[in-house]
Amino acid sequence: MRNPAELAALLELPLDALGARGGADFPLLVPRGFVARMRRRDPDDPLLRQVWPRADEDELVPGFDADPVREQGLAAGGLIRKYPGRALLIASGACPVHCRYCFRRAFPYQHQLAARGDWDPAIEALRAAPETREAILSGGDPLSLSNRRLGELVAKLEDTRVATVRIHTRFPVVVPERVDAGLLRLLERTRLHTVIVIHCNHANELDAHVAAALLALKAATGALLNQSVLLRGVNDDEATLVALSERLVECGVLPYYLHLLDPVAGAAHFDVEAAVGRRLIAALRARLPGYLVPRLVKETPGELSKTPID
């Protein structure tokens, strides 16, 4: 869905109740199935807040820019190398939803061969770097690829020294139908150890259809993790984060990271201070078993790993 008026009508809201719109350079895009999980007549619904292009996005805020994690200069032939032993492959420039806080909302996908379907330069670079044991498929969203195309990419990775493929995806949450029999067969048959990292910020995203898709992925891969972003007005309170962790484990997913917001231009209104994040993690530790408490982290350009905050 790309029409703001249509979205407002489905939510039984007058268009002006959602405020002035912004972010024209990053237009609204949200699947209908995700909209179906939003509360009707609630302009502050946490799922709606993640996708609605607010006028706040057009404000220029110091410290927030188009390349917040300084990776655009690292991308070459669709490959980004930031961490030892790992390489990130921009498998696709397409995504099923435009999350308003996305740190790659201004990423120049058109300049990356892998995002345009030519993976050979990235594969050759991996062959020339045998110390790289994990390939991280990202984007966009790598599950934007058809099963045939994804299978071709996995087959190319199997012909390198890579031992693990990690797939970062929002698809199982926003379009659970993407987890079909063909995808599950592909994941079950590859020689590569497969890790799926989903992205979910609120328990309301995880309805029965999503739960079924996630449990199927869990059975096919054995390693299913979640990354969230700490977002003002979405999940910046204790009860919401507790409910998210508990619902994730019901769906076969372990909480992995809770990220502080990457300071991308257009997303400053989502920012939550690190001190608030620390207090929330402390509260989660007091209420949940350790395996349900995500690590609070931030991305620091130039560092060799995520920076722990908690």
For 255-282, letters b (16+ CB in 10 Å) and e give bbbbbbbbbbbbbbbbbbeeeebeebbe
Q: What is the mean pLDDT of residues 35-54?
A: 97
Mean residue pLDDT across the chain = 93
Q: What is the mean pLDDT of residues 7-19?
A: 90
pLDDT at position 226: 98
Dihedrals phi, psi of 135, to nearest 5 degrees: -105, 125
Q: Is the separation of the CB atoms in 278 and 293 below 8 Å?
A: no
**pLDDT tens profile 222-269:** 899 999 999 999 999 999 999 999 999 999 999 999 999 999 999 999
pLDDT value at position 111?
63
Phi, psi of 168, rounded to the nearest 5 degrees: -95, 120
Specify the pLDDT at position 115.
Answer: 65
* Residue 114: Cβ-neighbour burial (10 angstroms; 0-12, 13-18, 19+): buried
- pTM beyond 0.85: the answer is yes
The answer to whether residues 100 and 52 touch, using CB atoms and an 8 Å cutoff, is yes
Secondary structure element (H or E) that encloses residue 227, with its range:
strand 224-229
Q: Are 254 and 224 contacting, i.e. CB atoms less than 8 angstroms apart? A: yes
**Measured between alpha carbons, how far is 269 from 104 in angstroms, rounded to an integer?**
17
18 or 206: which carries more pLDDT confidence?
206
Rg of the chain over CA atoms, in angstroms? Answer: 19
Residues β-bridged to residue 298:
307
Q: What's the pLDDT at 304?
A: 66
Percent of the chain with pLDDT over 70: 96
| pLDDT on residue 37 | 98
The pairing of beta strand 86-90 with beta strand 79-80: antiparallel
pLDDT > 90 fraction of the chain, expressed in percent and rounded: 77
pLDDT of residue 84: 84
The Cα–Cα gap between 111 and 76 comes to 9
